[in-house]
Structure 1
Amino acid sequence: MSVIAFVGLGAMGGPMATNLVRGGHTVNGFDPSEEACSTAAVNGVRIFDRAEETVWNADLVITMLPSGSSVHKVLLGDAGLIALVKPGTLLIDSSSIDVSTSKAVHASAETAGVHCLDAPVSGGIAGAVAGTLTFMVGGSVEVLEMARPVLDSMGTTIVHVGEGGTGQAAKTCNQMLFGTTLTAVSEMFVLATSLGLDHKALWNIVTNSTGDCRALRHFCPAPDVVPGSAADNDYKPGFSASLMLKDLNLSLMAAAATGQKLPLAESAADAYCDLVAQFDALDCSAIIKVVPTTSR
């Protein structure tokens, strides 16, 4: 099986690397967090002190990093991993970043003779742990087929979107819809409260009606409605509000670059900005806490 360098062993990357080990691959890992490295080591990942060391003799490199600037620092430039790996190496960037940085990674990889895919994911921490992630893949079909056995160890749905950068574009569109929908779901419950409606009864109605959506079913912001929800666990994050804000801001960046206006996404981003400022590290479904103060 492959020797895989995996850079970024956090809440998503750590379980993804673990599933690669379970799939029979040798995984060389790095993360600046000692805690993340310790957890990954227990799960069979070989930990290295520097990202550069992970790529020695690696057939494939996967990055799962928090921002476009992080991806730029780790992958690009004279000291970046693309310059260090041998030609023919396969690079998969599963970070959620801006489209322009993703395209720069593809361009640099092509110059270096490195095969490249942008493959951001959906499915959250639960999907990363279970190996049921959805991959949105930008790059050539031929390179995707090379990567498919590795992606299959981490996910169950792999969708080829188009050329380099389109995986990130698809992720941005998906997250824009999720963030605005979850904000609307929260407004629905706030309105329902003011109208004296029972939340559980309303949930049963809407999930069998035209308002049904994944945000309502899996990220219900009202407590005592869906057993096991973050709302029933003091909004302990499964997908954090700060990550939702990041994704909404990425959608606004993409819109600005293409001359589009996204008023609903702007409103949702304002709400999440308030949530992060007031309550910091909560689940994205905690948006209901600030909806009454951010209504337009």
Structure 2
Amino acid sequence: MSTIAFIGLGHMGAPMSAHLVAAGHTVHGVDLNPAAAAAAAERGVQIVSSVAEALDGADAAITSLPKPEHVRGVYGGIDGILAHAAPSTLLLDTSTVDVETSRWCHAGAQQRGLSFVDAPISGGTAGAEARTLTFMLGGGAADVERAREVVAPMAGNVIACGEAGAGIAAKLVNNMMLFISVMAVSEGSQLAEQLGLDPQVFWDVARVSSADSWALRTWYPVPGIVEKAAANKNFDATFSVELARKDCALAVQAGDDTGVHLPAARLALGQLDDLIAEGLGGKDCTLVARFASPDGTLRGYDPSRDGASAA
């Protein structure tokens, strides 16, 4: 079995690293949040105090971080991964970043004789817990094959997308389509209720009809329909508005860079911006269903329970 450094033990990283431990690997974990580190330790991750310590003797290093600036910070600098990784250590970033940041990681690794694979994931926290994540791999063929073995204990699907940056490009397009789907599911769920349809009956219809989607099956924004949906927990985040806004903005920027017109993605981005402007950035991204409600209220969401205003 291998020794794996895991940097970033949050909602995604904690269950992912735990699956690696369960598969027999030794996992050295790092996280700035003491609570996240403690939770990972309970699942068998050996917590260390620095990136350099995590990399000592590591066969692979995996990062799971919120934003591009965090990835650049962890990879760059005198205390970063690029400065301390051994040539034999395979580097994988599962974070959702812009294509330029991913290429920056690839270039920095290449300059130092290191192997890097962009390895973003899809499936959310539910997929991380169930080890059914989809990994989208970008990099040299030999490195991608090594990465395939590393991520297998966390994955339901592993897809080689192409050369450097292809994985993150696939992820940005995928997430853009997801947020557009969330907007469609939000509007459909509210219209169905206003038309007097039983929510469960309508979901059963949509699930086996042309309206079916991952968002409908996993994140349906009506309580009591999909067990793990945020609608059952006052829309506490499974995928926060702030992170969704980050991902959607990266996709819109990619559209600007390539000349592709993305009107639906811009609508989705605008709704996420509106939630953030209301102080709801920490809630679940499916709370955009509020904008389809006739009066702005949403069944399953009580703003008094989190101190936020839905006005």
| 1:230 maps onto 2:236 in alignment | no
Counterpart secondary structure, 1:250: helix
Distance in 2 (CA, whole Å) between partners of 1:177 and 1:160 is 20
Counterpart secondary structure, 2:137: strand
Mark the CA change 1:69 to 1:229 in structure 2 (over 3 Å): closer, same or farther.
Answer: closer
Distance in 2 (CA, whole Å) between partners of 1:67 and 1:228 is 25
TM-score by length of 1: 0.93
Counterpart secondary structure, 1:153: helix
User: What is aligned with 2:159?
Assistant: 159
User: What is aligned with 2:20?
Assistant: 20
User: What is aligned with 1:34?
Assistant: 34
- 1:250 is displaced (CA, Å) by 1.2
Q: Spell out, residue by residue over 1:221-253, the C-alpha distance to the aligned partner (whole angstroms, 9 max, x if none).
A: 123433453212212222222222121111112
Q: How does 1:115-154 map to 2 (within 5 A)?
A: 115-154=115-154
User: What is aligned with 1:266?
Assistant: 266
Counterpart secondary structure, 1:167: helix
Tell me if structure 1 keeps the 8 A contact 2:51–2:80: no
Mark the CA change 1:113 to 1:174 in structure 2 (over 3 Å): closer, same or farther.
Answer: same
2:220 aligned partner, one-letter code: C
User: What is aligned with 2:211?
Assistant: 211
Distance in 2 (CA, whole Å) between partners of 1:161 and 1:204 is 34
1:85 aligned partner, one-letter code: A
| 1:282 maps onto 2:299 in alignment | no
Counterpart secondary structure, 2:264: helix
Distance in 2 (CA, whole Å) between partners of 1:85 and 1:212 is 44
| 1:255 maps onto 2:250 in alignment | no
- 1:78 is displaced (CA, Å) by 4.3
User: What is aligned with 2:69?
Assistant: 69
Distance in 2 (CA, whole Å) between partners of 1:269 and 1:211 is 22
Tell me if structure 2 keeps the 8 A contact 1:271–1:291: no
- 1:63 is displaced (CA, Å) by 0.7
Mark the CA change 1:165 to 1:277 in structure 2 (over 3 Å): closer, same or farther.
Answer: same
Structure 1 unaligned spans of 5+: none
User: What is aligned with 2:307?
Assistant: none
Larger mean Cα displacement after TM superposition, 53-62 or 6-15: 53-62
- 1:80 is displaced (CA, Å) by 2.4
Mark the CA change 1:92 to 1:213 in structure 2 (over 3 Å): closer, same or farther.
Answer: same
User: What is aligned with 1:105?
Assistant: 105
Q: Spell out, residue by residue over 1:97-124, the C-alpha distance to the aligned partner (whole angstroms, 9 max, x if none).
A: 1110000100111111111100011111
Tell me if structure 2 keeps the 8 A contact 1:30–1:48: yes
Percent identity (aligned): 41
Distance in 1 (CA, whole Å) between partners of 2:204 and 2:59 is 50
Distance in 2 (CA, whole Å) between partners of 1:156 and 1:134 is 6
Tell me if structure 1 keeps the 8 A contact 2:179–2:248: yes
Counterpart secondary structure, 1:290: helix
Name the count of aligned residue pairs: 294
- 1:169 is displaced (CA, Å) by 0.6
